[in-house]
Structure 1
Amino acid sequence: MSLVDPPSKTTAIMKNPIKLLFLTLLVLASSLQVMAQTTQDEKPVYRISGRIIDKSSSEPVAYAAVALLDAESKQSIAGAVADLNGAFFITGFKNGEFVLQTSFLGFKTSISQVIKVTAGNTNITIGDLVLVEDAVDLQEVTVQGQRSLIEERVDRTIYNAENDKTTMGGDASDVLRRVPMLSVDLDGNVSMRGSTNILVLIDGKQSAIVASNIADALKQIPAEEIKSVEVITSPSAKYDAEGTGGVINIITKKNNLQGASLNINTSAGLRGSNLGLNASLKKGKMGFTLGGFGRSGYNILGSFENQQTLSNPDGTALQINQSADTKSNMLFGRYNFGWDYEINKYNFMTASVSLGVRNMNSKQNDLLTETFFEEELINSLLRNVEVKDLSNNIDVNYNYTKTFEKAQKEFSISGLYSKNNRTNDFVNSLFTESFDDVLRRVKNENGAINQEFTIQLDYVTPLGNNNKQILEYGAKNIMRSAVSEFAYFNAEGPNGPFVESNDVTFSNEFSYDQNVTAGYLSYTLGFLDNYTIKTGLRYEYTNIDADFKNSELPAEIPSYGLFVPSVNLSRKLTNGNMVKAAYNRRVQRPSLQFLNPNINAANPQQISQGNPLLDPELTDNYEVSYSTFIKGSSINLTSFFRNTTGSIQPVRTIQDDDIIFTSYENIGNERAVGMSLSTNINISGKFSLNGGLDGYFAMLDNGLEDPQFAAYNEGFVFSGRLFGNYTLPKDWQVQAFTFARGRQVQLQGSQGGFRVYGLNLNKQFNDKKGSIGFGAENFLATEFKIKNELMTPSIMQQSTNTLRNMNFKINFSYRIGKLSVGGPPKKKRGVTNEDLKEGGEGNGAGAAISN
């Protein structure tokens, strides 16, 4: 179907997404009811449930491991891991006599009394299991069982990345490709259920680098330092209203161990290498951590081809063909110094300083541009392009937490200062007609500074004596300041001096100040034994001040206030299954990549410029999900609908000299309805699989009536992933992973699909102090191609990007030092900024104000 044609009758239902969602949920509910009824009719439910608590404090022990053992042979039959409230349940067994073995790092292993399971006693609740602290050397502690790779909670899905060894030597983008409901393209751009408007937090905090460019920030986080990833599709009022697609919280590895240790991990491969160091020192109530990670990328070769047809009003057309070889080198680093101090039983402080660096140099060699009119070659140009994208950032965090004798009651105050410096320059060299010498050169310099200061207060208190009601409220203020200084220079020949342009459109300084003040109230209620509702309301007021230093260009942006409601409802079923429903409204402010007025003309045939006058997007989200457990395996099925108004979309026009110019406007309407399926299958104690399928139907409309610019597009988008883990004898382990995404629908065309896969073999030695392994990535093909399309009434463009990313690597890690356990970890809070639309298209505002 043409991108400008109205939708056909066959898509009438898709044009009514509420009806489609209702029909989808009706079919889903009917299917699940039949499934549940069939399961109950065929056989009784075998289930053992309980709760694990700390004897000294009576607090729940989160993530403790529970193994169901045969009472006589002590052979492991099944197992489970406790949730945040210490609750667990075990399925996947039959009649017999069993004992429960409970263990957790820092506690003595506990064995229960014999449990008799008979045909008349299959659903057993055992109450509380008590663990006693045991501060012994770490080498003497044995932890039984392994946390599931995928966990489902009331309001989120958790991916336990520490159990996945295929990401060794990689970064956070490699980890996120394995997470349900997420998709990460080859440039590191993240989307959730097809939406790139998401909030990414690191340990509940967001720095300036994450706020303005997620893809770049993910490259600085080593995969080995990630403990888990939380996907929150329906955030409560506590979270910032930003991120229409949802919230991703990356949890890094932390410890409360006593003593001193040093861990070294490294890998070397054909396309990249890394070296990481982590040290910790904990004495009594005070602890220090020092971590560093550096990663280099090299031999990253590729090519691209681009064919575009520009239609003229008289019916004639120009065809422009471009091709080039590409080469990239990169260096990333991230370093952190942390401090924590336990003042007393109820008061706790943490502080940290993080430094990061990201340098990327890329080239387009022999960029050939050929222009044809009616199949006759009328022009041929040859260029070389060099791009330098350099940045560094610093984050300073402080957090104070006060707990109370009453469980779950807590007050915290957090502060964050973040600064990011970025340089984004390019030099474009045009050759003579004979392609022998450089005729002239064009240089663009774009230096930027982005700063944030945030202060946040949170208070949580249970109501009543049964802990079925929880009240949360708090306030927050974010002050952002960004400056982008940009200039264009021209030079004659290969060595002539550069002369700056006097045009204020090309050489100017743009400042952008944003102040967001927010307050929220959230209420959680457990009722009718199995129901929980969490509802809340958040209000945010945004004040913006923008200015051009060297001109009177318009930059007046009105202030605005927003009310953001949210509702989450869940029901636990009798067999351990769960049904959830949620609604929330979200807002997406444009990030500085969309606002930056610097003109990006690295490719002179396709230039782009940000729009500093953009308004935020508004999105309503609806979802229903069902989780079930069958013989120790988990399955989650979710249906969702998303409607976005004021969507920021590119506007493309043809300028003189047949140049495609791209800017951005709030002219779009996006709707998506879809489903996702994820499963975690424990085939045996040594072999496990987890995977998922995600699919949605996207409907995009820019709302314009002028046939020259009007656009409408729709279609299905699918993605899938599969991960396998097998434990071999003598501390060997093999893991494999694959991810694929099909063609992605865009407003004016589509982006081609792609796939990635990897295999890792790992061996532990010296009492598991060290490990060495071999990994291979995309080893079945030397290269693969991604084909993209752009279609408007006057522009038809087809491009092909070729990437050579086969990689073989050797991984090594070793731990030096002796640690002992100091007790259960303290709960830590922190700043959570969640509010900037990310990304932009490949030829969008590529020179962002901040990284």
Structure 2
Amino acid sequence: MNKKILITTLTLLLSFATFAQRPDAKTITVSGKVIEKGSNLPLEYTTIVFENARNKQLSGGITDEKGNFKFDVPAGRYNVRVEFISYKTFSFPQKDYLESTNLGTIQMESDVAQLKEVEVIAEKSSVEMKLDKRVYNVGKDMIVKGGTVSDVLDNVPSVTVDAEGNVALRGNESVKILIDGRPSGLAGINIADALKLLPADAVEKIEVVTNPSARFDAEGGGGIINIILRKGKANGINGSVMVNAGDPETYGTSMNLNKKGDGFNLFSNFGYNYRNNPGNSLVDAEYFNPNGTTSRFINERRTNDRLSEGYNANFGIDLNLSKSLVWTNGLTFRENRGKNPDNVFFYNFDSAFNPTFIRNRLNDQNSNEFSIEYASNFVKKFKKDGHQLTADLSFSQNRENEFATITDQILGDPSSLDIEQTSNIQKQQRNLFQTDYVLPIGKNGRFEAGYRGNFLKNLTDFAVTPDLTNFSNTLEYIEKVNAFYSQYGSKINKFSYFFGLRFEDSNIEVNSLSANNFNTKKYNNLFPSATFNYEFSESSSVSLSYSKRINRPRGRFLNPISSLSSNINIFQGNPDLDPSLTDAIDLGYLKRWSKLTFNTSAYINITNDSFQFIRKESGLFVEGVPVILSTPINLAKEYRAGFEFNLNYTPYKWWRLNGNFNAFRNETQGDYSYVDYVGNTVNQNFDNVAFTWFARINSKITLPYKIDWQTNGTYNAPQSNAQGRSLGVASMNLAFSKDVLKDKGTIALNVSDVFNSRKRIMETNIPNVVSSYSEMQWRERQIMLTFTYRFNKQKNERERQPRREDTGGEEYMGRP
């Protein structure tokens, strides 16, 4: 097809030269405009061919960036056709053109049949790298087929997901996760758990913004991860269906369906999945007497089944109310039911490591979760390019109920049987209102301003029966944040800049209704941001950015008790946690060659009142074993400095590589004091310096018979903390895929965690209390077979409808 355009263009040029040699011929002017049917978007570089009906000579021209054309031809009788790749040719019947003529607005319609002839149309790489963000295209990644959003994030450069599902950006877990550019109720009450349930095929791409501008929420000291859901854009009725099955027992199906016509675009996604995610953990602990001598050993062995069955659906419509006004409405819901029999054996030994007894604790847990969200968006475009006003609102509700029956007994001693029942009922409601205004000023200037109101209410009712240790609690969390921002930027030759300021007024209530303890925290903050960019050339540029960020504690961080799966190692939230504030500085460099894109950055994050997890004895004992509590606290100051680079390399057409390396130094400074259960004051110094790194490489090779082979390898290096260290872990994923049925179908086989090595391995030491070694594997190796069938669209289909920019004005200012 590219050769066809080249030949046509050369022929037109020769024709122009021929006509230029005929001064006696009358010349007329032909004009008009070409747009895409349905979206009314202008089509640039469309060819308009005038073929003389007598001598078959060609003349004509091409459209500009606004779809307009205007050129001169000799008066005469012509056949006229309008041509553009992947669109049906538009023809005018043979006619005499004797006077200057305006052909009006010509609407071009996509030609699905022609799309099959296009081998590759500017196919995007799996990872697009820019100075201010990285964009990960999920559709190109075979490894996540049939998986979850948590699997997707674990393949994104700079992002890691640990064995418990916690997401970190550059090793920092203080990260804000958005869906379609905004906080969403679909993410659930516990974000880590919700990401492990949302299907990967519902996601189009992931945007990673390491140092956001003032336009974004100030939440997330480590940056922002924006999950963009799929939304069809092609004309007519089109979509795809996917089915998958795997081992351990996993199967599911999903479908996305789109209908686009004149003035509207209907889009939808449906999915069902059943997953068995067996996991396991172990803890080998040595307990000490106050004088430092060994009192006993306990080896803990745990298995989990984690069965889940879920449904999700999304319905939406874009309405083109006028040429300049688009109104989008969407309704999304998600339901999931789960079972998680958590079986723990405690092997007890005396101080000489002689076996004493074995205790078994079975936590038979059932859960159900339901989320629903309505979102609406208006986009009003004004006459000047880039001048627009947007308004968003969304309402979501989420409920999550967990019920468990816990049986605990010493094997061989029926009289020791103890039965407890727990319930954890959570309800969340979130309302969001937002408006953004963008005004271009002059040739390169841009002004932005906006408002966002985020209103959240979360109620958690945790109950234990019988409650012998007063663990039952009802916690109410209410968050009201009103934010205003403005920012301005411009470009002077090769230098561009952007300054912003955000104001957030926060009203937070953390109320323990069971204990009649009511705590209100009101505070407001200014969050400045600045970005500077210099382009050495079209392929090389450097940037420097600064922003101030905040991290508010929520959920399990605040809830005193939310689980009793183990009654000697208990996680306990802290309702008195304060938010932490971070100053972030980032220096980045981007260089592009023909086959290689290199992006590197050095960064510094300075955080006040950072969250740290401590372990301490509670004063409670289970058959003489001290109950150890793990709880978060505000621990003075944290300094994080690091360096990372990302590479996209295509050595051959059949081989693509991308890699990510991140190394950072983390220093904490702080002391913690508490009074133990016997009245002694315990002082702990948490001053600590840790250095660690992680690396990821992804390779995609096209084998003979057009079989794609993808390999993903990750290594997380050891890291120390004030009470121990985590050990290094390496893991690998594999995937193969083959297009079938004339490229309308794709078969993919992927293996997640090939060597079954993805674990969280920790060593912990609390002097004169406990020393332990632990391994936690959230999910064992999984094999998945997936079949995808596309109808009325192709694998590499070109999508011309522009999306709304959620990342502010950085790209407008000339950023790559």
TM-score (norm 2): 0.80
**Shift in Å, 1:623:** 1.3
* Alignment counterpart, residue 579 of structure 1, candidates 538, 542, 547: 542
* Alignment counterpart, residue 549 of structure 1, candidates 513, 517, 529: 513
Residues 446-478 of structure 1 deviation map (CA, whole Å, 9 limit, x = unaligned): 1010111111111001011x1x11100001111
In structure 1, the residue matched to 2:465 is 489
* Alignment counterpart, residue 398 of structure 1, candidates 366, 376, 379: 376
Decide whether the 8 Å contact of 1:415 with 1:831 is kept in 2: no
- Distance verdict in 2 for CA 1:656–1:826, change over 3 Å: same
Decide whether the 8 Å contact of 2:86 with 2:110 is kept in 1: no
CA distance in 2, matches of 1:201, 1:546: 23
**Shift in Å, 1:374:** 5.8
In structure 1, the residue matched to 2:298 is 321
Residues 420-447 of structure 1 deviation map (CA, whole Å, 9 limit, x = unaligned): 1011333321124515677121121110
In structure 1, the residue matched to 2:4 is none
**Shift in Å, 1:305:** 2.2
CA distance in 2, matches of 1:814, 1:584: 45
Question: Does the residue aligned with 1:217 lie in a helix, a strand or coil?
Answer: helix
* Alignment counterpart, residue 229 of structure 2, candidates 217, 232, 252: 252
* Alignment-mate amino acid for residue 512 of structure 1: Y
Question: Does the residue aligned with 2:518 lie in a helix, a strand or coil?
Answer: coil
**Shift in Å, 1:599:** 4.9
**Shift in Å, 1:830:** 7.9
Residues 631-669 of structure 1 deviation map (CA, whole Å, 9 limit, x = unaligned): 321111111111111012223221231110223321242
Decide whether the 8 Å contact of 1:105 with 1:821 is kept in 2: no
Decide whether the 8 Å contact of 1:773 with 1:811 is kept in 2: yes
CA distance in 2, matches of 1:435, 1:613: 42
- Distance verdict in 2 for CA 1:718–1:564, change over 3 Å: same
Decide whether the 8 Å contact of 1:107 with 1:133 is kept in 2: no
User: Does residue 795 in structure 1 map to residue 770 in structure 2?
Assistant: yes
- Which range is displaced more, 193-202 or 283-292? 283-292
CA distance in 1, matches of 2:634, 2:468: 31
Aligned pairs for 1:78-93 within 5 A = none
- Distance verdict in 2 for CA 1:821–1:377, change over 3 Å: closer
CA distance in 1, matches of 2:281, 2:460: 30
CA RMSD across the alignment:
3.4
Decide whether the 8 Å contact of 1:750 with 1:789 is kept in 2: yes
In structure 1, the residue matched to 2:17 is none
CA distance in 1, matches of 2:232, 2:405: 47
Residues 36-88 of structure 1 deviation map (CA, whole Å, 9 limit, x = unaligned): xxxxxxxxxxxxxxxxxx9758999999999xxxxxxxxxxxxxxxxx999xx
User: Does residue 470 in structure 1 map to residue 446 in structure 2?
Assistant: yes
* Alignment counterpart, residue 334 of structure 1, candidates 312, 334, 354: 312
**Shift in Å, 1:737:** 1.7
* Alignment-mate amino acid for residue 591 of structure 1: R
User: Does residue 423 in structure 1 map to residue 423 in structure 2?
Assistant: no
* Alignment counterpart, residue 241 of structure 2, candidates 260, 264, 267: 264
Aligned pairs for 1:557-706 within 5 A = 557-574=520-537, 576-654=539-617, 655-657=619-621, 658-704=626-672
- Distance verdict in 2 for CA 1:603–1:711, change over 3 Å: same
* Alignment-mate amino acid for residue 653 of structure 2: G
* Alignment-mate amino acid for residue 789 of structure 2: Y
**Shift in Å, 1:324:** 2.4
User: Does residue 519 in structure 1 map to residue 481 in structure 2?
Assistant: no
In structure 1, the residue matched to 2:129 is 152
In structure 1, the residue matched to 2:80 is none
In structure 2, the residue matched to 1:360 is 338
Decide whether the 8 Å contact of 2:386 with 2:439 is kept in 1: yes
In structure 1, the residue matched to 2:471 is 506
* Alignment counterpart, residue 411 of structure 1, candidates 389, 392, 395: 389
- Distance verdict in 2 for CA 1:548–1:637, change over 3 Å: closer
Decide whether the 8 Å contact of 2:688 with 2:722 is kept in 1: yes
Decide whether the 8 Å contact of 1:258 with 1:822 is kept in 2: no
Aligned pairs for 1:130-145 within 5 A = 134-141=108-115, 142=118, 143-145=120-122
- Distance verdict in 2 for CA 1:349–1:107, change over 3 Å: farther
Decide whether the 8 Å contact of 2:35 with 2:108 is kept in 1: no
- Distance verdict in 2 for CA 1:810–1:85, change over 3 Å: farther
**Shift in Å, 1:720:** 1.1
CA distance in 1, matches of 2:694, 2:43: 30
- Which range is displaced more, 253-262 or 349-358? 253-262
**Shift in Å, 1:813:** 1.1
- Distance verdict in 2 for CA 1:303–1:546, change over 3 Å: closer
**Shift in Å, 1:541:** 0.6
* Alignment-mate amino acid for residue 709 of structure 2: V
- Distance verdict in 2 for CA 1:339–1:802, change over 3 Å: closer
* Alignment-mate amino acid for residue 168 of structure 2: S
- Distance verdict in 2 for CA 1:408–1:247, change over 3 Å: same
Decide whether the 8 Å contact of 2:303 with 2:344 is kept in 1: no
- Which range is displaced more, 813-822 or 328-337? 813-822
CA distance in 2, matches of 1:193, 1:370: 40
CA distance in 1, matches of 2:143, 2:506: 43
**Shift in Å, 1:377:** 5.6
In structure 2, the residue matched to 1:198 is 175
CA distance in 2, matches of 1:707, 1:802: 33
- Distance verdict in 2 for CA 1:676–1:818, change over 3 Å: closer
- Which range is displaced more, 475-484 or 749-758? 749-758
**Identical counterparts, % of pairs:** 24
**Shift in Å, 1:199:** 1.1
CA distance in 1, matches of 2:788, 2:264: 27
**Shift in Å, 1:568:** 1.1
User: Does residue 451 in structure 1 map to residue 426 in structure 2?
Assistant: no
* Alignment-mate amino acid for residue 197 of structure 1: S
- Which range is displaced more, 276-285 or 676-685? 276-285
- Distance verdict in 2 for CA 1:395–1:752, change over 3 Å: farther
Residues 523-571 of structure 1 deviation map (CA, whole Å, 9 limit, x = unaligned): 11111x111111100010111233333443x332220001001111111
CA distance in 2, matches of 1:624, 1:157: 15
**Shift in Å, 1:621:** 0.8
Decide whether the 8 Å contact of 2:145 with 2:748 is kept in 1: no
- Distance verdict in 2 for CA 1:558–1:681, change over 3 Å: same
CA distance in 1, matches of 2:465, 2:682: 38
Question: Does the residue aligned with 2:610 lie in a helix, a strand or coil?
Answer: strand
Counting matched residue pairs gives 709
TM-score (norm 1): 0.77
In structure 2, the residue matched to 1:825 is 801
- Distance verdict in 2 for CA 1:401–1:327, change over 3 Å: same
- Distance verdict in 2 for CA 1:823–1:792, change over 3 Å: closer
Residues 252-302 of structure 1 deviation map (CA, whole Å, 9 limit, x = unaligned): 33232232234210111112222111122223212222211222222x444
- Distance verdict in 2 for CA 1:506–1:62, change over 3 Å: farther
Residues 756-807 of structure 1 deviation map (CA, whole Å, 9 limit, x = unaligned): 322222222223211223223333x356654212223333221123577233
CA distance in 2, matches of 1:261, 1:638: 41
* Alignment-mate amino acid for residue 517 of structure 1: N
Residues 797-846 of structure 1 deviation map (CA, whole Å, 9 limit, x = unaligned): 211235772333221011235799998425447899xxxxxxxxxxxxxx
* Alignment counterpart, residue 187 of structure 1, candidates 140, 164, 168: 164
In structure 1, the residue matched to 2:187 is 210
Decide whether the 8 Å contact of 1:138 with 1:821 is kept in 2: no
Q: Which of the two has higher C-alpha Rg?
A: 2
In structure 1, the residue matched to 2:72 is none
**Shift in Å, 1:105:** 6.3
Decide whether the 8 Å contact of 1:135 with 1:821 is kept in 2: no
- Distance verdict in 2 for CA 1:144–1:486, change over 3 Å: closer
* Alignment-mate amino acid for residue 293 of structure 1: G
**Shift in Å, 1:577:** 0.6
